[in-house]
A and B are shown apart, each in its own frame.
Chain A
């Protein structure tokens, strides 16, 4: 167990290793570690952000879908309403048309009947006059008795 110069040698070697380590070993490695730590933090941040963005996008997609569903429902409802309205209008128009046709037909019928009546009346008058001529065997002045015959015909 001799204490000798080795002690000085050890101090010199120790000092050399410490200084070398301090200058050339410690800074680069801790620098790389710090940089990696920063990178990882940034990566985690980005992942968080992406997650948040994804949630937002999902929410937006959901709300968009809900909105378009509502819109579609409204359109369908409106279309139904409109269809009903069109059908109603068509019914109404048809009814009116029918009524108009019926009225027109009625009027024509009335007109025909009147015309027939008129014709009948005229023929009756002629017949009556002819009959009276036959009965009287004498010529009756048609013009002179026309008034009388008219009256008779009107009474028929």
Chain B
């Protein structure tokens, strides 16, 4: 790839999503350049992010549903064993952090962990394979290959991570109000940590703290995956015979990162929701 265009063009091509939306001049359609994608504003959708994330999510529920349907308390098969290991791992984490009765938390944690893990794992597919394939397919449909964008790691798209974080944030607000009532929740924001005489300061502190939860969730995952992807792209600019020297160690290290990031997102979600249930 790198030989066909400049390094910066190669990088920016790799960092541009396949965007569909309403362009102010060209109307509804796919964005041909990164600039066009930016001009579409909010009313555009990243088709590649949606495709890969929904596809991987479907793979997750297909695999787990298959096991769930055939779940037996007798000797489990290898797939059931694998799925059970993950479920027990998640259940252990939930029960050690979250001490309230809530049927949503454990499945939520499982979905977060497995889905994010799968999306992160796309990072380990060599950076050029799927975009190259997409370009060939796009070419077959008569598109200019330079204008076919395919970003395969959904978690390197801030929209994906923010979407999940906002969903978690909505749950935090919902359970805070459900468990403490509107008054109780507002009182928690207003009278902590410094008592009622410093109410405005408390309010400022608590609201910042509250908003920091989803933002930190989203940005931590996005930042880690984006940086990792970026380094893979930079390694891909090296001569082909030298790439493995760096990409292999980085990929091995990345196995740890993708698992850890999925785990952190899950654990923080559980912690935040446990805090939402906590009555002071």
Whether chain B is bound by chain A comes out as yes
| Chain A residues within 8 Å of B, Cβ to Cβ | 1-11, 13-18, 20-22, 24-33, 35-36, 38-39
B167→A11 contact, CB < 8 A: yes
Given contacts A21-B111, A29-B67, contact A10 B53 (CB under 8 A): yes
| Interchain CB contact under 8 A, A28 and B71 | yes
Given A14-B167, A22-B107, are A9 and B37 also a contact pair (CB < 8 Å)? no
**Separation of A15 and B171 alpha carbons in the complex (Å):** 11
- CB–CB B84/A33 < 8 A: yes
Does B43 belong to the interface (CB within 8 Å)? yes
Residue B110 is within 8 A (CB to CB) of chain A in the complex? yes
Q: Which of B139-147, B158-166, B271-279 contacts A (4 or more CB under 8 A)?
A: B158-166
Q: How far is the CB of B175 from chain A (nearest CB, A)?
A: 14
Select one of B19, B84, B103 contacting A2, CB under 8 A.
B19
Chain A residue, CB-CB nearest to B31: A2
Contacts of B54 in A (CB 8 A): 13
Return B60 CB to nearest CB of chain A, in Å. Answer: 7
- B68 in contact with A28 (CB, 8 Å): yes
State the Cβ distance, A68 to closest chain B Cβ, in Å. Answer: 46
Q: Tell me if A22 and B103 are in contact (CB < 8 A).
A: yes
B61 nearest CB neighbor, chain A only: A20
Given contacts A14-B163, A18-B111, 14 further A-B contacts (CB under 8 A): A2-B40, A3-B159, A4-B19, A4-B40, A4-B42, A5-B42, A6-B159, A10-B53, A10-B159, A10-B162, A14-B57, A25-B61, A25-B107, A30-B87
- List the 5 shortest-distance A-B pairs measured between CB atoms, nearest first: A10-B163, A6-B159, A35-B73, A32-B71, A22-B107
B68 touches A3 (CB 8 A): no
Hey, which chain A residues are within 8 Å of B65, CB to CB?
A: 20, 24-25
In the complex, which residues of chain B have a beta carbon less than 8 angstroms from the beta carbon of A32?
71-73, 76, 84
CA distance A11 to B107 in the complex (A): 16
Do the beta carbons of B107 and A29 come within 8 Å of each other?
A: no
Q: Which of B96-126 contact A (CB under 8 A)?
A: 103-104, 106-108, 110-111, 115
Query: Which residue on chain A has the smallest CB distance to residue B157?
Result: A6
Could you jot down 27 A-B contacts, CB within 8 Å?
Answer: A1-B158, A2-B19, A2-B44, A3-B162, A5-B21, A5-B42, A5-B44, A6-B46, A6-B49, A7-B162, A9-B163, A14-B57, A17-B57, A18-B111, A21-B61, A22-B107, A25-B61, A26-B107, A28-B68, A28-B69, A29-B71, A32-B76, A32-B84, A35-B73, A36-B73, A36-B76, A39-B73
Across the interface, which residues of B come within 8 angstroms of A15, CB to CB? Answer: 167
Contact yes or no, A4 B68, CB < 8 A = no
- Determine the distance from Cα of A35 to Cα of B80 in the docked complex, in whole angstroms: 14
Give the CA-CA distance A25 to B68 in the complex, in Å.
5
Nearest CB of B to A121, in Å: 123
Determine whether the beta carbon of B45 is less than 8 Å from that of A4: yes
Once bound together, how far apart are the Cα atoms of A28 and B61, in whole Å?
13
| Interface pair A24/B167, CB less than 8 Å apart | no
In the bound assembly, the distance between CA atoms of A8 and B164 in angstroms comes to 9
B114 → A minimal CB distance (Å): 9
How far does the alpha carbon of A108 sit from the alpha carbon of B83 in the complex, in Å? 117
When the two chains form their complex, are residues A6 and B160 in contact, meaning their CB atoms are under 8 A apart?
yes
Docked pose: A41 CA to B248 CA in angstroms:
46
Could you tell me the distance in whole angstroms from the C-beta of B148 to the nearest C-beta in chain A? 18
User: Could you give, for residues 4-25 of chain B, a 1 whenever the CB lies within 8 Å of some chain A CB and a 0 otherwise?
Assistant: 0000000000000101010000
- B201 at the binding interface (Cβ < 8 Å): no
**Interchain CB contact under 8 A, B44 and A4:** yes
